[in-house]
Amino acid sequence: MGAAESGKTTLLEQIRLLYNQNWTEAEMFHSKAFIYNNILQNIRILIEGVKKSGEKLTNPENEPRAESLLNNDESRYARFPESMANDIKSIWNDPSIQEIYAKRSTMNLNDSAKYFLDNLDNINKEDYVPSPKDLIMSYVPTVGVQNVIFTCNNRAFQLFDIGGQKIDRRKWATMYDGIDAIFFCLAISEYNQTMYEDPNMNRLIDSLSLLQKISDEPKFKETPIFLFLNEVDVFKEKLNIFPLENYCLNYSGKSEEDALNYMESLAKQATIGRSMGLIYIYRMFFKIALALLLTSSVFSTNPKFTYFVDKLKGRIGDAAMNCSDDQYAAAHKCFDAYYANWNAVPFTFEQFEKQYDHLMDSKGVQGFEQACTYQDTLTKCLIAANVNMDNCVTNEAFEDWYKINVTEAEQFRTTYFIFDYECNAGKPIVTQNFVCLRDIKRRDKKDMDICQTQYNNALNSGTPFCKAYNDYVTCVENVYTHYCGKQVVPWICNVEEIGLKVNYDGCNNQLQNCNQ
C-alpha cells in the first residue's frame, strides 16, 4: 500500500526478480507502451521547466520542435515516428534542457527520465524488447490489482499490488480480508510536492494520513506493517535545495541523518498505538538499485550486495513471522534476564565484550562455565516460551528491544549462536584449550590482520565471496593451529562459519566441513 508513485510496484518487481519470475508477454507489451509515454511526459516536463524559468532553448531550431511536442498528441503509447524521435533527442541534448535537468528536484520529473532519454535510439527500434532494468525504471501507474505468488523459506506468499492514486484507493477496502502482512511504501522525498490528483494537497501529508488510516483500520489490528521509507536517494539530494524546515515547521535538525530520523518519527506518530511487533520501519537506502544490481553481473557477485539481497529475503521471510505478540514479549523477557547477568552498562556490544573478557580473565575456565549456565538458562527460557530464534528473535527484534543499531543487533544475535555452539558441541575443545584460546586474541593480532587483509584483497580482485570467505577461514585456522595446536581447528572453523551463516546462508555448500 501507499500513495501513487511511492514505489509499490517497484518493490513488487524487485521481488519478482529475486524469485526469478518472468514477465508475461502481455505485461511486457503493457510496460513497453508506458516507456514511450514516460519519455514524452518527461521531455514535456523539461521543456515546461525551461519555459517557467523564463529561459529559452539554447538552440533556436529546437524551439519549434519543442512547441510541436507540447501541442502534439496528448499521450503516446507506441514507437515515435522517426522525425519525432529526432526532435526529442535534439531537445534532450539542448544545453538549457540539460541545465534544468540538473535542477530536476524542483520538478515532478520521473527519476528515470535520463535513463530512457539517453537510450531513445535503442527504445525506438522496431524490434525493441524492454530489459528487466527498463521495466523496473518505467513508471506504469497501477490500475486495479496485480498479484504475484512466490515461495520463500518454504512458505508460499501471495503479494498484491494496488494502485495508489486517489481514485484507486476507493477499491482498497475490498481487499482487507485475509491479509497477513502489509508492505507500505512512503516516498519521503515528496515533502515539497503536491498531488496530481489534488494540487492543494502536500504529498507527504497525504501519505502519512493514508498510513495512519491503514494503521488504525480495525481489520489490521493484528497485521504487521512493513513500512518502507522510500526514495531516500532523492530525499538526500533535495535537502540542500529545499530545506526541510521550510516544509515541516517543527523540524530543527541539522544533518541528513537528523532529517531521516525526523521522517521516521513522523511515520511512528502515524502508527502510534501499534505494538513494536506490528510495525517495522526500513529505509530504502538502495533506491531502486536492488533490481538493477541483480541484473548486472558486475554487482551480483559483490558480497555486500548478495548479503543485502539475502537480508531482503530474510525480511520478506519475517512477514511470515510465526511468532505471536506473546512469544515476542516472552523472548524479550528471556533476553532481558540473560543480559542482566552480564551487567553491561551502557548496553553496547563493546561493553558486553568487556564484561565477558573480564569474567574469562578473572575466573578462567570457571568463568566460561558460568557463561554457559547463563546461556543454558536463556535457551531453556526460549524453549519454554516456544520461541524460534529464526523467525521471532530477528536482528530487528534486538534493534527494537534495546534501541541499538543494526550492526550491534547483528553482533548480539550472532553471539547467541556462537555461545550456543561453544556451550554445547564446542565445549570440550574450549575447556581443554581454554587458556590458549582465551589469550590468542591478544597474541595473534598481527597474524589475524594478515588473514583479514588477504580476504579484503581477494574480494577486491573479484574472487567469489564464498571462496574468499573459505580461504579466510583456512587462514585463521592456520593461525590457531600455530599457537594452540591442530585440535582447536574444528572450534575456530565452526565459530567463523556460524558468524557468517547466522546472517547469510548463501555459502552453505561452499564452505569447508568443520568436522564437528
Ligand X SMILES: Nc1nc2c(ncn2[C@@H]2O[C@H](COP(=O)(O)OP(=O)(O)OP(=O)(O)O)[C@@H](O)[C@H]2O)c(=O)[nH]1
Q: Which residues are annotated as a binding site for GTP?
A: 5-10, 111-112, 161-165, 230-233
Which CB sits closer to Mg ion, 31 or 494? Answer: 31
Which CB sits closer to ligand X, 7 or 277? Answer: 7
Backbone angles phi, psi at 22, to 5 degrees: -80, 155
Compute the residue count for the chain.
Answer: 516
CB of residue 237 to ligand X, shortest distance in Å:
9
Which CB sits closer to ligand X, 29 or 196? Answer: 196
Alpha carbon distance 375, 373 (integer Å): 5
Residue 146 binds to Mg ion (criterion: CB under 5 A): no
Tell me if the bond preceding 60 is cis, omega within 30° of 0. no
Cell of 11: 518493490
CB-CB contact of 236 with 244 (8 Å): no
Interaction partner, residue 139 (Mg ion, ligand X, none; CB < 5-8 Å by kind): ligand X
Binding segment (CB under 5 A) for Mg ion, from list 22-30, 57-65, 137-145, 204-212: 137-145
Checking phi first, is residue 184 left (phi over 0); if not, alpha (psi -120 to 50) or beta? beta
Alpha carbon distance 409, 412 (integer Å): 5
CB of residue 255 to ligand X, shortest distance in Å:
20
Which positions touch ligand X (CB under 6 A)?
2, 4-10, 110-112, 137, 139, 141-142, 163-165, 185, 230-231, 233-234, 284, 287-288
Which CB sits closer to ligand X, 165 or 341? Answer: 165
Among 2, 7, 9, 327, binds Mg ion (CB under 5 A): 9
Which CB sits closer to Mg ion, 2 or 314? Answer: 2
Q: Which residue reads 520529473 in cell numbers?
A: 109
Binding segment (CB under 5 A) for Mg ion, from list 6-14, 221-229, 246-254, 413-421: 6-14
Which CB sits closer to Mg ion, 31 or 271? Answer: 31
Alpha carbon distance 231, 286 (integer Å): 9
Among 59, 119, 142, 431, binds Mg ion (CB under 5 A): 142
CB-CB contact of 488 with 327 (8 Å): no
Alpha carbon distance 52, 43 (integer Å): 14
Alpha carbon distance 238, 259 (integer Å): 11
Interaction partner, residue 5 (ligand X, Mg ion, none; CB < 5-8 Å by kind): ligand X
Helix/strand/coil (H/E/C) assignment for every residue in 109-174:
CCCCHHHHHHCHHHHCCCCCCCCHHHHHHCCCCCCCEEEEEEEECCEEEEEEEECCCHHHHCCHHH
DSSP of 153-167: TTEEEEEEEE--SHH
CB of residue 140 to ligand X, shortest distance in Å:
6
Terminal CA-to-CA distance of the chain, rounded, Å?
47
Which CB sits closer to ligand X, 162 or 244? Answer: 162
CB of residue 142 to Mg ion, shortest distance in Å:
3
Residue 165 binds to Mg ion (criterion: CB under 5 A): no
Interaction partner, residue 133 (Mg ion, ligand X, none; CB < 5-8 Å by kind): none
Binding segment (CB under 5 A) for Mg ion, from list 3-11, 45-53, 219-227, 474-482: 3-11
Interaction partner, residue 231 (Mg ion, ligand X, none; CB < 5-8 Å by kind): ligand X
CB-CB contact of 375 with 420 (8 Å): yes
For binding to Mg ion (CB under 5 A), which residues are involved?
Answer: 8-9, 142
